[in-house]
Amino acid sequence: MGFRTLADSGAIRAQRAIQGIAELTLAQRLYGRGRASDALALLYQVAPVDPDRMVTTHLMRARCHRLLNDLGPAMREMEAAIALAPDNAETLAYMGRVLHENGDLTAAVRFYERAIAHAPGNARWLIALATLVGDRSRPHLFDSARMRSLCAKALDADSTYASAWELHGQILAADGDHAAAKAAFERALALDSTYTAAMHDLAWLLLHHIRPLDEPRAERLLRTALRLDSSDTRILLLLAQVLTRGPDRDPVLADRLYRMANAADPLQELRALAGRAEAAYQAHDDRYALELYQELWSKDSSDIAVGVRMAILLQRLKGAPAAEAMLHRCLALDSMHHGVNLNLGILYLEPGTALGRKNAITHLDRALSTDPRDHFVLEHLGIALTEDGQFDRARSILDRLLRMDPDNYIGNGYLGVIMQRTGHPDIAIRSYERALISSPGDPVIAGSLAELYLAQDPQRRREAHAVLLNALQQAPDDPGLHMNMCAVTMTEGDFPRAADHYRRAIALKPALRSVSVERKLAKHGQW
């Protein structure tokens, strides 16, 4: 039966319905193009003629408000949609998303659960719920077993869903199965080549857990991710770290990325500032690095690692007293801090005084108690004890070091010193020889070994000559080596060459001048 006139109520309703469908379709297109405000202006003019289109209209309004980061109106529209269709799975799931972003995570979980009850095979909602219950920062929600189960169900439901592979990779990485995690992240990227989260996580894996490390590929992934999303602070910070420490360092760009991360998320201020300081430090821009570390320290003076780095820079720029003062400020925060005690030990060892050695031993002993396998601590404690004449304990420390690192040249060198001073020349020679394998040009070890060769047997002067010659090629201006070579060449009867080395030695260090050497040279017409 046809309409009698255009003014007929049925015709008007049909016309309004057609107009409403057209306006809703246009609003959806505007939303798809990112023009959320224009879509909202249209959606608030739409007068839906049936409940289904009313639900769709509320849902579209909520999506537009959410795109504009206006979650209050989005919640209002979602509540209206759910009041009209309390069992609509799509609406329930979107309410879960809005609640998640609004911070009401417990309610978000409930709505996702209701949506999944209506559509158990929806991989998107399964992963959204898995992400919520897998958040360790929310202990009241965290459920690792449930997260894993939901992720597995999502992969079973849709093996082409990239987010499911991404979460699967995170689970595998947490389990320590890094090879499988890498394959999962790569699968996610094969399904979605613009997936920046997978790029970040794969880059992290390549930088920290896959051997050999693949820093070039990690950098390429992060640069691609940054082009796609320059606001993701995780990408900004990880790429900045690569550019700070990696083989292709670019401290200027790293500094810029740290600034961008801070601008994108003010909560990242301290981390970004620490990264900029580290980038300057790695670039050997000590003054700028110190300025940044001081700014960081002014904002958070509880970070002892920052204080230690400042002490290192202060020693380079202003000398030992400034470094010592900084380290003592750190010591007041934690008297057993490993890095503080190690650096104080090294600082006190350098002057070579008896009091300095005692203080160095005290702090190095503390550092050793907090990490008994730290080679650097064992080396310096061995040096301090040897120079302090505590040979038995020094040998015990050096033996421990050499059990862990048999080729350690400091361990072998100082063990040689102890053996030489305590009357065990054969052991000293073996220790020095082993030390020179690791450090062929060390002038002190070479000189000591040459002395022992000559003292043990004058016929070993050729070996002494070879050791000193090699050391002089590495350190041609070392006065001690020239003095040792003078002694060797005199035993060889080459007095002109001995005189040359003697003159070079006293020119470099006048305190080495020797009346007995000059008499021997004069006796052979060389002085």
pLDDT at 312 over 90: yes
How far apart are the C-alpha atoms of 264 and 281, rounded to whole Å?
A: 24
Banded pLDDT at 92 (limits 50, 70, 90): very high
pLDDT at 2 over 50: no
In tens, the pLDDT along 98-132 reads 999 888 999 999 999 999 999 999 999 999 999 99
Helices 89-101, 51-67: axis angle to 10 degrees equals 20
pLDDT at 170 over 80: yes
In tens, the pLDDT along 31-71 reads 888 888 888 888 888 776 678 888 989 999 899 888 888 88
Q: Residue 395's CB: how many other CB atoms inside 10 A? A: 18
CA 499 to chain centre: 55
How far apart are the C-alpha atoms of 126 and 117, rounded to whole Å?
A: 11
pLDDT at 222 over 80: yes
pLDDT at 218 over 70: yes
Q: State the greatest distance between any 2 C-alpha atoms of the chain, in Å, as a whole number.
A: 141
Average pLDDT for the chain: 89
Phi and psi at 327, nearest 5°, equal -65, -35
Residue among 383, 389, 470 at smallest CA distance from 422:
389
Alpha-helical segments (H) within 229-353? 233-245, 251-264, 269-282, 286-299, 304-318, 320-333, 338-349
Q: Please tell me the least confidently modeled range out of 67-71, 360-364, 367-371.
A: 67-71
How far apart are the C-alpha atoms of 112 and 134, rounded to whole Å?
A: 14
The answer to whether 76 and 98 have CB atoms below 8 angstroms apart is no
CA distances from 113 to 87, 106, 215 (A): 12, 11, 41
CA 259 to chain centre: 17
How far apart are the C-alpha atoms of 33 and 231, rounded to whole Å?
A: 20
pLDDT at 77 over 50: yes
* Mean pLDDT to the nearest integer, 379-399: 95
3-state SS track over 34-85: CCHHHHHHHHCCCCCCCHHHHHHHHHHHHHHHHHCCCHHHHHHHHHHHHHHC
Banded pLDDT at 21 (limits 50, 70, 90): low
User: What secondary structure letter does DSSP report for 512?
Assistant: G
How far apart are the C-alpha atoms of 185 and 82, rounded to whole Å?
A: 36
The answer to whether 514 and 484 have CB atoms below 8 angstroms apart is no
